[in-house]
């Protein structure tokens, strides 16, 4: 006989703390994008090399996500969140004092990038342990929505603070405030033990029973085809997301003919069309997964790849970027698409692996997958340096979307 599981309302405070932590890390990730030309001139590097500051951040994310899942599984959600927030906030505070050369700034960005690894490594355990199955899509949507919220705050605030302070280093330090708030919330709300059994509920005929799942270890899970297909799908998703959020704002502000030649403030305001929809996209995607897709992970992800691929390419078309209204619409839809499918991927992981390894599997999927984002920024930076244009780097986002669309239909649950 199975007893009814009672989920505590504390789960929403845990989600709040994790949400602020995610928001903080993405504010710090994107803070450079709308002011990249200013940073490049100050550090005496070209725009292609300056994109390395974003690539280094994302590369560190990839490595730290794998480690971050282990930290969360072994030491708990609070430890992972606080460690991640210290990684992002301390280098930001130090930037006005030591951020004088490209090499030093690049090193600090590597440390900051590790923050997302530790913080996102908590998403799977929070969703799996604190929320009932019929709320896991919504919970994942709320947490992933904070990526868009943090990115939006970053692209709006960065050029405004820069205009006020006159120093990009001070701008970075000022915007670290969210990280310190996140540390307080993590210590207040995430140290409690989840008041639920660590086992999945109501297994479907296509998935493993709780007893079978509990026998699955991390190394065994790495042998599953769904692990590798899923990781490659996330790699395509990461290529799209990190290149969209980091290269498009720079494309808008870079001098013509390299980019569109808009001011930093205007580029930041336009970039909100790209990032702000990332707030509601995961929420809608999570509800779609729970209520309409009935747990089918493929539909929302496929829709997201199609929309992002199509509308990202359109922002390169002169008749679109010369029309302010059309440009805003295309930016919104490009950003919405890539965020819409994220909750389906996190919910798939939370419901197809045992909770004892969910943190590590989230870390593996998104860690391995984030190498796709680092690769995209690396290749994009090389193409920008070689061609003197953002065209090729942004067009490759559409190609990555096509690859992701093919992969998602190959992602199937492991049969038993």
CATH number at residue 288: 1.20.1250.20
| 165 inside domain | yes
pLDDT beyond 90 at 371:
no
Residue 388: which region, alpha, beta or left (left: phi > 0; alpha: psi -120 to 50)? left
Of 101-115, 194-208, 227-241, 250-264, minimum mean pLDDT range: 194-208
User: What contacts 24+ positions apart, CB below 8 Å, involve 228-231?
Assistant: 229/407, 229/410, 229/411, 229/412, 230/345, 230/348, 230/349, 230/365, 230/411, 231/364, 231/365, 231/368, 231/369
| 131 inside domain | yes
Tens digit of each residue's pLDDT (9 = 90 or more) over 12-29: 999 999 999 999 999 998
Tens digit of each residue's pLDDT (9 = 90 or more) over 260-316: 888 767 877 788 888 788 788 887 887 787 777 766 778 888 989 999 999 999 999
Confidence of residue 359 (pLDDT cuts 50, 70, 90): confident
pLDDT beyond 70 at 203:
no
- Reference 6, options 145, 194, 143, 253; nearest CA is 194
Tens digit of each residue's pLDDT (9 = 90 or more) over 57-77: 888 888 887 777 788 878 889
Question: How many domains is the chain built from?
Answer: 1
| 349 inside domain | yes
**Segment holding 361, helix H or strand E:** helix 355-387
User: Distance (Å, rounded) from C-alpha 375 to C-alpha 127?
Assistant: 29
Q: Give the per-residue pLDDT at 209.
A: 47
| 416 inside domain | no
pLDDT beyond 70 at 403:
yes
pLDDT beyond 70 at 397:
yes
| 101 inside domain | yes
Q: Return mean pLDDT, the chain.
A: 85
User: In terms of pLDDT, which residue wins out, 154 or 135?
Assistant: 154
Q: CB–CB of 175/92 below 8 Å?
A: yes
**Cβ-Cβ contacts under 8 Å for 410 (sequence gap 6 or more):** 229
The residue segments making up the domain with residue 300 are: 10-193+209-408
Alpha helix segments (H runs only) across 131-167: 136-165
Of these ranges, 125-129, 209-213, 401-405, the one predicted with the greatest mean pLDDT is: 401-405
Q: CB–CB of 222/367 below 8 Å?
A: no
Q: Is-cis flag, bond preceding 257, omega within 30?
A: yes
| 269 inside domain | yes
- Share of the chain residues as helix, strand and coil, in percent rounded to the nearest 5: 80, 0, 20
pLDDT beyond 80 at 237:
yes
């Amino acid at each position: 006989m199975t007893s009814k599981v009672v989920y505590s309302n504390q789960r929403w405070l845990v989600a709040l703390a994790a949400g602020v932590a995610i928001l903080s890390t993405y504010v710090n990730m994107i803070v450079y994008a709308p002011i990249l030309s200013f940073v490049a001139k100050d550090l005496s590097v070209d725009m292609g090399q300056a994109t390395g500051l974003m690539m280094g951040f994302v590369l560190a994310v990839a490595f730290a996500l794998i480690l971050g899942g282990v930290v969360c599984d072994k030491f708990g959600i609070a430890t992972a969140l606080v460690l991640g927030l210290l990684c992002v906030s301390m280098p930001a505070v130090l930037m006005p004092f030591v951020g004088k050369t490209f090499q030093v700034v690049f090193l600090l960005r590597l440390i900051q990038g590790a923050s997302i690894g530790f913080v996102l490594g908590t998403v799977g355990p929070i969703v799996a342990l604190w929320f009932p199955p019929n709320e896991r899509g919504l919970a994942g949507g709320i947490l992933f929505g904070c990526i868009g919220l943090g990115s939006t705050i970053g692209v709006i605030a960065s050029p405004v603070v820069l205009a006020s302070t006159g120093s990009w280093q001070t701008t970075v330090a000022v915007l670290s405030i969210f990280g310190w708030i996140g540390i307080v919330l993590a210590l207040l709300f995430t140290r409690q033990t989840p008041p639920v059994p660590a086992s999945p509920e109501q297994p479907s005929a296509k998935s493993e029973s709780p007893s079978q799942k509990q026998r699955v270890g991390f190394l065994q899970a790495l042998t599953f085809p769904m692990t590798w297909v899923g990781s490659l799908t996330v790699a395509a998703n990461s290529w799209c997301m990190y290149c969209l959020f980091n290269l498009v704002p720079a494309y808008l502000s870079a001098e013509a003919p390299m980019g569109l030649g808009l001011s930093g403030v205007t580029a930041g305001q336009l970039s909100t069309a790209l990032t702000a929809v990332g707030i509601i996209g995961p929420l809608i995607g999570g509800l779609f997964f729970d209520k309409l897709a009935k747990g089918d992970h493929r539909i929302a992800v496929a829709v997201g790849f199609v929309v992002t691929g199509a509308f990202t390419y359109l922002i390169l078309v002169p008749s679109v970027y010369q029309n302010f209204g059309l440009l805003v619409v295309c930016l919104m839809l490009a950003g919405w698409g890539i965020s819409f499918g994220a909750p389906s991927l996190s919910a798939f992981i939370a419901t197809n692996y045992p909770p004892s390894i969910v943190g590590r599997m989230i870390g593996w999927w998104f860690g391995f997958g984030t190498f796709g984002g680092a690769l995209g920024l690396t290749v994009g930076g090389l193409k920008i340096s070689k061609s003197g244009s953002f065209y090729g780097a942004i067009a490759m986002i559409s190609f990555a979307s096509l690859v992701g669309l093919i992969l998602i239909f190959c992602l199937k649950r492991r049969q038993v």
